[in-house]
Amino acid sequence: MKVIMNTGRTIPQGESVERKHSPEYESAASVCFIHPVDMMVLGIEDGAHIRLSGPDSRVVLTARASEMVEQGSVFVPLGSYSNHVVSGETHCTGMPDFKSTMVEIIPTEDPVLSVAELMESLGGVRYAH
């Protein structure tokens, strides 16, 4: 289904933002809050994995039901995971559309990658702390 992705700070993401190699950060940043009705339409349960696809990229996240997001939109904490699908276009304002990216969601069995794996996929070299 096509939805608008909104991103922003959440408490768990903020608590662990200075420890991005930690499991806390990975679980805090790799969730996608979806309205229960939309989850029903997708036929997935809380905790299921979904693939979020942007214009030229995709990332696997853990779905979480939340009535705080509207139907037709999802909320993903700001950070490594959400930015994997945000486009670099800034409309010459310097600022990407972090809070209004059109994305496609489909259920998936694929695993959620670690931050290190995400960075490797972009040409980095994993540093094991």
Partner 1 sequence: MLIKDVVCPFCGCLCDDLDVEVENGRIIRVDNACTLGSKTMVGDDRLKGPIRRDGKGWVETTYDAAIEEAAQILLDADRPLLYGWSSTHGEAQSIGVHLAELLGGVVDNTSTVCHGPSILAIQEVGHPGCTLGQVKNRADLIIYWGCNPIDAHPRHMSRYTTYATGFFVRDAHRGRKVIVVDTRRNETADVATEFVQIEPGGDYAVLSALRAIVRGRGDVVPPSVSGVPKEQLVRIAEMCKNAKFGAIFFGLGLTMTAGKNKNVRNAIELTDELNRHTKFIISPMRGHWNVYGTNEVFTWITGYPYAVDFSRGIAFYNPGETTAVDILRRGECDACLVVASDPAAHFPKACVEHLARIPVIQIDPHPNATTHICRLQIPGSVAGIDAAGTAYRMDGVPIRMKAVIETGVPNDTEILQKLYNRVREGTRE
Closest alpha carbon to 60 in 25, 84, 96, 36: 84
- Residue 40 binds to partner 1 (criterion: CB under 8 A): no
Q: What whole-number distance in Å separates Cα of residue 50 and Cα of residue 120? A: 21
> Rounded to the nearest 5°, which phi and psi values hold at 18?
-85, 5
Query: Per CB under 8 A, which of residues 89..128 are in contact with partner 1?
Result: 89-100, 115-116, 118-120, 122-127
- Residue 42 binds to partner 1 (criterion: CB under 8 A): no
Judged by CB under 8 A, the number of residues near partner 1 is 55
Q: What whole-number distance in Å separates Cα of residue 76 and Cα of residue 33? A: 6
Residue 19 CB neighbour total at 10 angstroms: 11
- Residue 30 binds to partner 1 (criterion: CB under 8 A): no
Residues that bind partner 1 (CB under 8 A): 4, 6-11, 14-16, 18-21, 56-57, 67-70, 73, 75, 78-80, 83-100, 115-116, 118-120, 122-127, 129
